């Protein structure tokens, strides 16, 4: 492995950690809201969250690139405030990853939340527990599996993403080049041995992660079934 | 005894769900145990959830106004078009049909969940988790998880947990629905005693007549989404609706004369007569007042006291009026037992056939002797 590979691994891990942390913060209230929502617009909202599952990553990456770039809504606003636009930068990568992995965090949590019996929450409410108190004292402990699955899947999914990162990040070594794009570079330059080292690493990592999720899944019964299913049926990132 | 408890509730609830209309308007005094009795699906649970503050959505499809009076006589609003006081601010405890224990917490931690959320100045030491666990007979089970307990034990934990939140009103939604005979009897006795010890008013929802008669001080009759009648249970049972819906149950107040556990017989006095009947409760003290139940169909009427009969209990009473019973060949005889032993005159009903009525030439004002089989009596 050359120094650029180590950089790629470092950036990949950093990206996955930051994205997962952000995803959990965003997905927790969003999943709770969706699990409690009784509106005829609920399917539409759920479809929006699930969109990254079916959309080619390049499409998502392209629109994000446009929005985050100097001419885009977000990028342009930032520039007018004297800041940098986000295309081809690490923060841009994080935003892309968060959007791309959103369903992997939201769905397991939403499934878990909707399986918490309502009478437990009612009972807690009559025992003077306020809504936030109920969330942390009843829901979180009862949906631990959902949180672990959401975290692990988000992390793993961010590690493996390719299309979005390539579009937004631009594959700049030492800055926005991650393992998956580094592998692509190796193959382009016919360095199959280098590509193999990194690929094997990702492969082993993914097997371990999925084994972990499925063993947790067994413990939690049907709690997490849906989300794992959707992971395996999802078109995997690649140059689509 | 708690000094903090709600005195009264004023309520107007109108709700429409599909073809079912719920329409109630009343003021309910809260004393002792009030039973909410009616067939399944008559709106009992809706009313209970509204009181608990778990029925916020009612506003879109109907109307709900709810006011409560505290121990100082102050009224405050719980719900009207402008105001909604959420559950966690009402200090109303709720025991469900299912125990609804927190599965991730031990029994003791379940109780502590309620206790730690009570402000320090509102805590009642008697309702502290350890005391309550002992009170419901589960001291040794504090460290177990709810799933390791039987259904009856779980429901006792649920009761204790609700009490540990030091509520000013307790609501119980058919808490015995999933319990078997022995667990049920134990729970009823426990609930009765806990109510007397704590003084917390309770509203008890049930469609089981035996539970209602054993437990309640006051009775609310419900049918098809509306309140039919409410008041002290003995009086409500003697109303037209009460007689019909409660299958002629009578409640009599009596004074304990003798409690002979050796023979398993309890002697009580009603007016000047002594009644003997088998009673498992040996805790009734001589001279205290107790309630006895007898069904109208278990009372037969005689013009003279009988002497040679296996029926050992014979109480004189005066016929007041006659009215229809559920069957056309039967008649409900309304009777009054005279006052005595600090107990005012009491009304009750006997169901006899019209043929017997004619044969005895019974008329209003006549004195009769009610013959009650000892085994038909219970406290």
Structure tokens at B256: 């304990």
CB A31 within 8 A of CB A110: yes
- What's residue A218's pLDDT? 72
Residue B299's DSSP bridge partners are: B372
Task: State pLDDT tens for residues B96-105.
Answer: 988 999 999 9
> For chain A, how many helices (H) and strands (E)?
13, 0
Distances from the Cα of B365 to the Cα of A30, B299, B317, B332, angstroms: 74, 18, 10, 15
Q: What gap in Å lies between CA A85 and CA A73, rounded to an integer?
A: 10
- Percent helix, percent strand, percent coil in chain A, to nearest 5: 80, 0, 20
> Sheet holding B265-270: strands in order across?
B273-278, B265-270, B249-260, B289-295
Total domains in chain A come to: 1
Note whether residue A212 is domain-resident: yes
CB B196 within 8 A of CB B188: no
CB A45 within 8 A of CB A126: no
Contacts of A142 in chain B (CB under 8 A): 103-104
Query: DSSP letter string over B286-348?
Result: TT-EEEEEEEGGGEEEESS--SSSS--EEEEEEEEEEEE-SSTTEEEEEEEEPPBTTB--EEE
> Sheet holding B226-232: strands in order across?
B92-95, B169-173, B202-206, B33-37, B218-223, B226-232
Rounded to two decimals, the ipTM of the complex is 0.82
Structure tokens at A104: 């992997």
- What's residue B178's pLDDT? 83
Domain range spanning residue A170? 3-233
Structure tokens at A203: 């492969």
Note whether residue A162 is domain-resident: yes
Query: DSSP letter string over A21-86?
Result: HHHHHHHHHHHHHHHH---TTHHHHHHHHHHHHHS-HHHHHHHHHHHHSTTSHHHHHHHHTT----
Task: State pLDDT tens for residues B263-301.
Answer: 777 888 887 788 887 776 667 778 888 888 888 888 888
Nearest to A123 among B53, B94, B117 (CB): B94
Indicate yes or no: CB of A120 within 8 angstroms of CB of B104.
no
* Minimum distance, in Å, between the CA of residue A130 and any CA atom of chain B: 6
Nearest to B100 among A120, A130, A137 (CB): A120
Structure tokens at A142: 């009862």
Topology of the domain comprising B249-376:
OB fold (Dihydrolipoamide Acetyltransferase, E2P) (2.40.50)
Q: What gap in Å lies between CA A159 and CA A215, rounded to an integer?
A: 21
- What's residue A28's pLDDT? 94
Structure tokens at B121: 């100045």
* Minimum distance, in Å, between the CA of residue A126 and any CA atom of chain B: 5
- What's residue A221's pLDDT? 46
The alpha-helical segments, DSSP class H, found in A131-191 are 131-134, 140-142, 144-160, 163-169, 179-188
B57 CB within 8 Å of a chain A CB: no
Looking at domain B8-245, its CATH architecture is 3-Layer(aba) Sandwich (3.40)
Burial of A7 (0-12, 13-18, 19+ CB in 10 A): middle
Radius of gyration over alpha carbons of chain B, in Å? 23
Indicate yes or no: CB of A128 within 8 angstroms of CB of B117.
yes
- What's residue B282's pLDDT? 64
Contacts of B98 in chain A (CB under 8 A): 119
SS3 B282: coil
Indicate yes or no: CB of A125 within 8 angstroms of CB of B54.
yes
SS3 A238: coil
Structure tokens at B198: 């704590």
Sequence-ordered list of residues with C-beta below 8 angstroms from that of B36, at least 6 positions apart, any chain = B44, B47, B48, B203, B204, B205, B206, B220, B222
Residue A120: CATH number of its domain: 1.10.3720.10
A125 CB within 8 Å of a chain B CB: yes
Give me the long-range contacts of B354-361 (CB less than 8 A, separation at least 24): B354/B329, B354/B330, B355/B329, B356/B301, B357/B322, B357/B331, B357/B333, B360/B301, B360/B303
- List, for chain B, all residue ranges whose pLDDT scores fall below the cut of 50: none
Q: What gap in Å lies between CA A205 and CA B265, rounded to an integer?
A: 78
Sequence-ordered list of residues with C-beta below 8 angstroms from that of B345, at least 6 positions apart, any chain = B336, B337, B338, B339
A231 sits in which H/E element = helix A225-233
- Comparing CA positions, the residue from B207, B157, B158 lying closest to residue B39 is B207
Burial of B21 (0-12, 13-18, 19+ CB in 10 A): middle
CB A225 within 8 A of CB A107: no
Residue of A nearest to B92 (CA): A126
B157 CB within 8 Å of a chain A CB: no
Indicate yes or no: CB of A126 within 8 angstroms of CB of B100.
no
Burial of A81 (0-12, 13-18, 19+ CB in 10 A): exposed
Q: What gap in Å lies between CA A49 and CA A43, rounded to an integer?
A: 10
- For A176, half-sphere exposure in the C-beta direction (CA atoms, 13 angstrom radius) is 24
Going by the DSSP 8-state scheme, the letter that residue B246 receives in this structure is T
A232 CB within 8 Å of a chain B CB: no
Compute how many other C-beta atoms are within 10 angstroms of the C-beta atom of residue B375.
9
Residues 105-124 of A with CB under 8 A from B: 117, 119-120, 122-124
Residue of B nearest to A119 (CA): B100
Domain parsing of chain B, residue ranges: 8-245, 249-376
- List, for chain A, all residue ranges whose pLDDT scores fall below the cut of 70: 219-240
CB B197 within 8 A of CB B160: no
Indicate yes or no: CB of A126 within 8 angstroms of CB of B88.
yes
CB B367 within 8 A of CB B317: yes
- Percent helix, percent strand, percent coil in chain B, to nearest 5: 30, 35, 35
- For A54, half-sphere exposure in the C-beta direction (CA atoms, 13 angstrom radius) is 5
């Amino acid at each position: 492995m050359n120094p650029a590979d180590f950089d790629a691994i470092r950036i990949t891990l950093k990206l996955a950690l930051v994205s997962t942390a952000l995803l959990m913060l965003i997905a927790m209230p969003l999943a709770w809201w969706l699990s409690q929502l009784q509106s005829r617009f609920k399917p539409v909202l759920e479809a929006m969250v699930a969109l990254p599952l079916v959309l080619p990553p390049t499409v998502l990456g392209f629109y994000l690139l446009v929005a985050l770039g100097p001419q885009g809504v977000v990028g342009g606003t930032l520039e007018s405030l004297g800041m940098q636009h986000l295309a081809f930068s690490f923060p841009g990568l994080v935003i892309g990853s968060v959007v791309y992995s959103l369903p992997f965090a939201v769905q397991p949590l939403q499934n878990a939340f909707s399986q918490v019996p309502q009478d437990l929450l009612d009972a807690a409410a009559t025992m003077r527990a306020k809504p936030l108190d109920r969330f942390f004292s009843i829901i979180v402990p009862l949906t631990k599996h959902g949180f672990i699955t959401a975290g692990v899947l988000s992390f793993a999914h961010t590690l493996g993403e390719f299309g979005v990162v390539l579009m937004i990040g631009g594959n700049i070594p030492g800055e926005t080049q991650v393992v998956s794009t580094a592998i692509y570079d190796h193959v382009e330059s016919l360095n199959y041995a280098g590509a193999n080292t990194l690929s094997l690493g990702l492969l082993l990592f993914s097997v371990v992660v999925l084994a972990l999720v499925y063993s947790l899944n067994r413990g939690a019964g049907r709690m997490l079934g849906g989300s794992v299913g959707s992971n395996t049926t999802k078109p995997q990132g690649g140059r689509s | 005894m708690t000094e903090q408890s709600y005195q009264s509730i004023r309520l107007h609830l109108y709700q429409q769900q599909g073809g079912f209309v719920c329409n109630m308007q009343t003021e309910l005094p809260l004393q002792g145990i009030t039973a909410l009795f009616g067939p399944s699906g008559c709106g009992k649970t809706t009313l209970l959830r509204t009181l608990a503050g778990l029925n916020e959505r009612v506003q879109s499809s109907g109307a709900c106004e709810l006011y409560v009076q505290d121990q100082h006589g102050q009224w405050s609003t719980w719900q009207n078009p402008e105001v909604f006081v959420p559950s966690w601010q009402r200090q109303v405890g709720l025991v469900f049909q299912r125990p609804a224990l927190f599965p991730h917490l031990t029994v003791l931690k379940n109780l502590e969940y309620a206790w730690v959320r009570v402000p320090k100045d509102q805590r009642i030491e008697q309702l502290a988790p350890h005391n309550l666990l002992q009170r419901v007979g589960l001291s040794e089970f504090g460290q177990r998880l709810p799933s390791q307990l039987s259904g009856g034990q779980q429901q006792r934990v649920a009761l204790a947990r609700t009490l540990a939140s030091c509520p000013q009103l307790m609501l119980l939604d058919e808490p015995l629905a999933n319990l078997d005979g022995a667990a049920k009897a134990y729970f009823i006795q426990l609930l009765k005693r806990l109510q007397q010890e704590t003084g917390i008013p309770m509203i008890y929802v049930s469609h089981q007549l035996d539970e209602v008669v054993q437990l309640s001080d006051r009775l609310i009759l419900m049918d098809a989404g509306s309140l039919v009648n409410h008041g002290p249970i003995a009086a409500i049972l003697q109303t037209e609706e009460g007689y019909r819906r409660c299958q002629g149950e009578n409640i009599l107040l009596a004074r304990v004369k003798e409690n002979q556990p050796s023979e398993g017989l309890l002697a009580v006095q009603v007016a000047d007569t002594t009644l003997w009947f088998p009673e498992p409760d040996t805790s009734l003290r001589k001279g205290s007042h107790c309630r006895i139940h007898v069904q109208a169909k278990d009372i037969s009427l005689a013009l003279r006291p009988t002497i040679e009969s296996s029926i050992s209990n014979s109480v004189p009473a005066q016929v007041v009026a006659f009215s229809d019973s559920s069957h056309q060949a039967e008649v409900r005889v309304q009777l009054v037992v005279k006052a005595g032993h600090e107990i005012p005159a009491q009304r009750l009903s006997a169901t006899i056939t019209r043929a017997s009525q004619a044969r005895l030439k019974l008329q209003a004002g006549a004195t009769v002797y009610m013959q009650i089989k000892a085994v038909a009596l219970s406290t």
